[in-house]
Amino acid sequence: MGARRKIAVLGGDGIGPSVIEEARKLLEVYRDKAGLPLDLWELDLGADRFLRDGTTFPKEIQVAIQLECSAVLLGALGDPRVPNLEHARDILFGMRFGFDLYANIRPVRALHDRLVPLKGRSARDVDFVVFRENTEGIYVGMGGQFKRGTPDEVAINEDLNTRKGVERIIRAAFEWAKTRGKTKVTMADKSNAMRHAHELWLRVFHEVATQYPGIEARHLYVDALCLMLVQDPSQFQVIVTNNLFGDIVTDLGAAFQGGLGMAASANVHASATPERGKVPLFEPVHGSAPPLAGKDIANPFAALLTAGMLLGHLGWPAEEARIERWVTKAIEEEACTVDVGGKLGTRAASAWVRERIAAEL
Ligand SMILES: NC(=O)c1ccc[n+]([C@@H]2O[C@H](COP(=O)([O-])OP(=O)(O)OC[C@H]3O[C@@H](n4cnc5c(N)ncnc54)[C@H](O)[C@@H]3O)[C@@H](O)[C@H]2O)c1
């Protein structure tokens, strides 16, 4: 089984702790029944902790994760009691930027026809992955406000794109396609309107594509991509795009797979050999959904599928497939939460999947 793998587990806010609790129980089954060498380290961070003692993301925790952990499993951050999201920014950006997790990988796969809202389309038509650039773009927080609160107010957010940053995410998308036998990579930008930054994306995309002759490289403006995704998602296999467009396109993708309760993601520093300190972060795509918190109604499947991505990344791809197979079965049997057509609560839907996996191990 190899060396022990320490996983930092952070439920976060709102529904985060309840869905991550279910993902944790599933990982414990793998540890206790299948003997996977997993050590789970619960972190007390999030809005409650921030409101209690002002802690957001201490440096010593960041360093300990970087020195000791193989992965982080995170629920979601965001709480109405912290309106400026100070804690969420420190924790999330502390990991995304601090660990240089430049590739946000979001599989968009529908597990059942019932979940696909597109007329005339079935689950078979929805199977692509989005590579969202995760450390640059308009989300870096560069900019400012001038003459705030006056009629002459000016507000600026800079869109930062570096050659290195653009090239590595595009290359990661091609590499992913190559290693999985995919034949199409689509890059989406807005180079017709954003002539400086996105001309860089377009030029680098064509350059990198020449190194992958077996893969069809297609360029689309992001508005056209959205239109085509709704018309026929089956034409896409791998989509690579910047931070802002990736954020939007992946929520559109989540709608094709049954909503945010079904969407998993990984944030990684994709490189041929593991790099010290670049600890991958796995999180369901959804936020903290405060209105659902504490009611046992949030869909736990995004969190279970995310735990599956974590196991796949750590070298157990058969277990990632097993989790997806049992979540699919649960959807088929309507052993799921109301958002995806079932009647079960968070804990019962999760237990349905976990018990069947446990029985197989
Ligand atoms: N990575 C993160 O931690 C992250 C991501 C997105 C939003 N947020 C934060 O979460 C908070 C709420 O944001 P929001 O409402 O825009 O997004 P959200 O994802 O929390 O909710 C959007 C919609 O999806 C539904 N939903 C989400 N997860 C679900 C689940 N597991 N089961 C069933 N339904 C689910 C919600 O009920 C809501 O209708 C905000 O503070 C926001 O900043 C955090």
Crossing angle of helices 346-360 and 317-332, rounded to 10°:
130
Look at residue 3 in the predicted model and tell me its pLDDT: 87
Residues contacting residue 172 through CB under 8 Å, at least 6 positions apart: 102, 103, 131, 240, 270
What percentage of the chain has pLDDT greater than the value 90? Answer: 96
Residues contacting residue 324 through CB under 8 Å, at least 6 positions apart: 109, 111, 305, 308
At residue 272 the predicted structure's pLDDT band, cuts being 50, 70 and 90, is low
Q: What is the mean pLDDT of residues 245-270?
A: 96
Residue whose C-alpha is closest to residue 111's, from 95, 100, 122, 96:
122
Closest Cα to atom 37, ligand 1: which residue? 289
Ligand 1: nearest atom to the Cα of 75: 3
From ligand 1's centre to the CA of 284, what distance in Å? 10
- Per-residue pLDDT of 108-131, as tens digits, reads 999 999 999 999 999 999 999 999
Tokens standing for residue 49: 């902790």
Q: What is the mean pLDDT of residues 51-79?
A: 95
What percentage of the chain has pLDDT greater than the value 70? Answer: 99
Indicate whether 90 pLDDT > 90. Answer: yes
Residue in 260, 306, 337, 346 to alter for ligand 1 test, most ligand atoms within 8 A of Cβ = 260
C-alpha–C-alpha distance, residues 54 and 292, integer Å: 25
Residue in 104, 288, 338 to alter for ligand 1 test, most ligand atoms within 8 A of Cβ = 288
Q: What is the mean pLDDT of residues 24-31?
A: 98
Indicate whether 288 pLDDT > 80. Answer: yes
Task: Work out the burial of residue 163: count CB atoms within 10 Å of its CB; fewer than 13 is exposed, 13-18 middle, 19 or more buried.
Answer: exposed
Look at residue 270 in the predicted model and tell me its pLDDT: 83
- Per-residue pLDDT of 137-169, as tens digits, reads 999 989 999 999 999 999 999 999 999 999 999
For the ranges 91-95, 165-169, 241-245, 353-357, which has the lowest average pLDDT? Answer: 91-95
Look at residue 277 in the predicted model and tell me its pLDDT: 86
For residue 349, how far is the Cα from the chain centroid?
21
Residue whose C-alpha is closest to residue 223's, from 247, 197, 250, 189:
189
Look at residue 56 in the predicted model and tell me its pLDDT: 96
Indicate whether 349 pLDDT > 90. Answer: yes
Closest Cα to atom 17, ligand 1: which residue? 287
From ligand 1's centre to the CA of 259, what distance in Å? 11
Establish whether residue 261 lines the binding site of ligand 1, counting it when its CB lies within 6 angstroms of any ligand atom. yes
Tokens standing for residue 86: 């100070």
Tally of CB atoms within 10 A around 194: 15
Indicate whether 6 pLDDT > 60. Answer: yes
At residue 2 the predicted structure's pLDDT band, cuts being 50, 70 and 90, is low
Q: Taking a C-beta distance cutoff of 8 angstroms, is the pair 87, 47 a contact?
A: yes
Look at residue 275 in the predicted model and tell me its pLDDT: 75
What does pTM read for this prediction?
0.95
At residue 1 the predicted structure's pLDDT band, cuts being 50, 70 and 90, is low
C-alpha–C-alpha distance, residues 187 and 240, integer Å: 5
The torsion region of residue 345 among left (phi > 0), alpha (psi -120 to 50) and beta comes to beta
- Per-residue pLDDT of 201-215, as tens digits, reads 999 999 999 999 999
Look at residue 14 in the predicted model and tell me its pLDDT: 97
Establish whether residue 305 lines the binding site of ligand 1, counting it when its CB lies within 6 angstroms of any ligand atom. no
Establish whether residue 339 lines the binding site of ligand 1, counting it when its CB lies within 6 angstroms of any ligand atom. yes
Q: What is the mean pLDDT of the chain?
A: 96
Q: What is the mean pLDDT of residues 328-357?
A: 98
